[in-house]
Amino acid sequence: MMSILFNLQNILKRGTLECMVSLDDLRAAQSRIKGIATRTKLIEFQSVNSEDTRKLFLKPENLQPIGAFKLRGAYNKIAALGDAERERGVITYSSGNHAQGVAYAARALGAKAVIVMPNNAPEVKREATAAMGAEIVIVGPGSLERQVKAEELAAQHGYVIVPPYNDEYIIAGQGTMGLEILEDLPEVETVFTPVGGGGMLSGIATAIKLSKPSVKVIGVEPELAGDAQASLRKGEIVQFPADQVSQTAADGLRTQSIGPINFEHIKKYVDDIVTVTENEIREAMKLLARNSKTIPEPSGAVAVAGFLFRRDELPKTQINVAVISGGNIDPALRAEIMNG
C-alpha cells in the first residue's frame, strides 16, 4: 500500500503547463493516424421526445477497427516513438479499449505489446486484446494498482509506457475527433464527451477551443465515478475509491482519478462536467441500439445520457454532438440491458 501511495504522489506531480497540446500537435496526430483510424462520420440522432427541438449528432467511434476511439491516441503515441524505443516493446494498463488500441497499433508497427489489465475487465475485451498478439498481465481492480504494475514491469524490462490518458501524444490523438467534428459540422454549438481518465475530453476540448472558442465542451461521467466533476469543482485532482468506481457498468470509465496533464487541459478548455446515473446510462444505450451503427457499450452511451437527462444543467444550444466512445459490450450484458 505504501508503494502505491508513493507512486500516486509521484504521478500527481507530472502534469505541468509545459505539456499543453497545441494545434500543431493535433494536426501532426491527424496526419499520423490517417489510414489507420477510421474517420467516423456524424450520424443524426432521432429523439423519441417530440418536444425536444434540439438536434444531436453522434460521433460513432464504436465503428473504429477496435470498436473504440482509443486507437487514435495509442497509434499516435507508438508511431511517434523512435525505432529503438519500439524495439524495446511497449506496455500499458487498461480495462480494455486502450488495451486493444495499443495491441492493434503495436502489431501494425511491429512492436511487442504487454498489457496490464484488471481482473474485472470484460472478457470480450480481454480476449480481443490477446487475439491481437499482446501479452496480458492480470492484477486487481484498482486503476492505480495496474498503473503501478506497468511501471514496475517497464523498469524491469525496458518497455516504453503508453499511458491510457496522461500523455500529450495520447491527448493529441484523441483530439483528432474534435478537428473532425468541426470539419464535418462547423455550426456545432456544444460537444459532449465521456470522461474516464480525461484523455478524450482534454483532447477534444483542446481541439475545439483552439479552433473555435465559442463552441461549448461538456464532459459526462457516471455518478459512481464522478471524480472528474469533483476535481473541476474543487480545483485540484480528487481520487475516488476503487470499490466505488468498479460498481459502474461503464467499465471504460472506472478510473479513480483523472491524469494531471489531462486536468491542466480540462481546467483551461472544458466548460463543465455533469454526471449521470446507471439507469440513465442504460436508457441511453437502449435508444442508441435502435440503430445498428450506434450500438454502444455502457461507456459509449454516457455522453448521450448527459444530453438527454441533464438538460437543465446544459448550455441552451440547438446544434450538438455527442461522442459514442466505443461499442465493445459483452453480449450477455447487452441482452440484460436491452431486456430491462
Which among 316, 315, 291, 285 has a CA at the least distance from the CA of 303?
285
149-151-155 Cα angle (round to 5): 115
Which among 55, 98, 99 has a CA at the least distance from the CA of 192?
55
User: What SS3 state is found at 129?
Assistant: helix
pLDDT digits (tens, 9 = 90+) for 56-89: 999 999 999 999 999 999 999 999 999 999 999 9
CA distance 298 to 326: 8
The answer to whether 17-68+167-338 and 71-161 have equal CATH topology is yes
Over the chain (340 residues), the average pLDDT of each successive run of 10 is 40 55 98 98 88 94 97 98 97 92 97 94 88 95 88 97 96 98 98 97 98 98 97 96 92 92 97 98 95 95 98 96 93 79
CB atoms within 10 A of CB 200: 31
For residue 227, the number of C-alpha atoms closer than 13 Å in the C-beta half-sphere is 26
What single-letter DSSP state applies at residue 247?
A: T
**Which residue reads 509506457 in cell numbers?**
161
| CATH 3.40.50.1100 corresponds to the domain 71-161 | yes
Q: Considering the entire predicted model, what is its pTM?
A: 0.91
Q: CA separation (Å) from 54 to 49, 105, 173?
A: 10, 38, 29
CB atoms within 10 A of CB 62: 25
Domain boundaries, the chain: 17-68+167-338, 71-161
**Which residue reads 494498482 in cell numbers?**
145
Question: For strand 113-118 and strand 90-93, is the pairing parallel, antiparallel, or unpaired?
Answer: parallel
What pLDDT does residue 121 have?
85
CA distance 24 to 175: 12
What pLDDT does residue 18 have?
60
Answer whether 124's CB lies under 8 Å from 104's CB: no
CA distance 321 to 42: 8
Burial code (b: 16+ CB inside 10 Å, e: under 16) for 299-322 equals bbbbbbbbbbbbeeebeeeeebbb
Pick the CATH number of 17-68+167-338 from 3.40.50.1100, 3.50.50.60, 3.40.630.10, 3.90.10.10: 3.40.50.1100
